[in-house]
Amino acid sequence: MSIRHYTPRRRRHGISQRARIVLGGALATTILLQISYPLVHGTALQYITIATVYIGAISMLLHAYLSFGIKYASGYLILTALFGYFIELTGVHSGWPFGVYSYDSSLGIAIFGVPIVVPFAWVMMVHPALVAARSITSKWTFLYGGALLAAWDLFLDPQMVAANRWRWEVTGSHIPFVPDVPLSNFFGWLLAGCAIVALLNRILPFDRRKESASLRAVTILLAWVLFSGLIGNIFFFHRPGLALFGTFIYGALAVPFIFKSSLGEA
């Protein structure tokens, strides 16, 4: 006769209250800066544009660390920032894969024509795209994540072109309802997005920390992009066609993850 000792399975615990406050504060600041975007002009708008990217990147890096650990977060930062910089460097100087474009000096210090802030826009959005893609599919992670990034850019590019942050040379087809952004940009984002998501999905760990942040921050950011893209383009930027087109494309990709995450299944 033997006595068996039962050892309960170690469950994943949430992060500390302090960590939740820091993460929530960074995400809230990102959203508040974006809310203020259509309400300011001139130099203030320039600073808000740059600050939004940096704080958004910090909030997603915090989430990456608090959810998946230092190995994931550090690898993610290095690989995404380098990929973002060199794909933009290639684009600025060759026109591939996005099309012919150039950045304005209002985006701050640039290295060989690419503002330093630009790779951090990739850092801000690639983590949410990867998390959503891993949650939705195991076989087509790269395609789902890449398509989600390309759909996000449908809202970003017209807004930045209108603010003269960068400019395009449009000689052929353009994105529907956006005559000053070439269609090649969408396919360039799709290609580049698939490449970086495939790379990160291959290299970065899947397992979350035992004391792990939920996916709520990612869900909120992706949902905010959907909401702000629709409302902003209808009521503030006066692009109703883009509002409906972009919302349809982006929503078709983001909503399945948002819905799954809201049910606690992501």
Q: Each residue of 23-49: pLDDT tens digit?
A: 999 999 999 999 999 999 999 999 999
Residue 190: pLDDT over 70: yes
Residue-wise pLDDT tens digits, 130-174: 999 999 999 999 999 999 999 999 999 999 999 999 999 999 999
Nearest to 196 by CA among 20, 32, 77: 77
Residue 176: pLDDT over 70: yes
pTM of whole model > 0.85? Answer: yes
pLDDT band at 8 (very low <50, low <70, confident <90, very high): very low
Per-residue model confidence (pLDDT) at position 13: 63
Residue 2: pLDDT over 50: no
- Tell how far CA 201 is from the center of its chain: 15
- Please answer whether residues 253 and 151 qualify as being in contact, where contact means their C-beta atoms are separated by less than 8 angstroms: yes
- Please answer whether residues 250 and 181 qualify as being in contact, where contact means their C-beta atoms are separated by less than 8 angstroms: no
Per-residue model confidence (pLDDT) at position 14: 83
Residue 123 contacts by C-beta under 8 Å, 6 or more apart in sequence?
57, 60, 61, 76, 77, 80, 81, 84
- Within 53-188, strands assigned E span 101-103, 110-111, 114-115, 166-168, 174-175, 178-182
By CB atoms closer than 10 A (0-12, 13-18, 19+), residue 209 is: middle
pLDDT > 90: percent of the chain: 92
For residues 262, 196, 174, 227, the Cα torsion angle rounded to the nearest 10 degrees is: 20
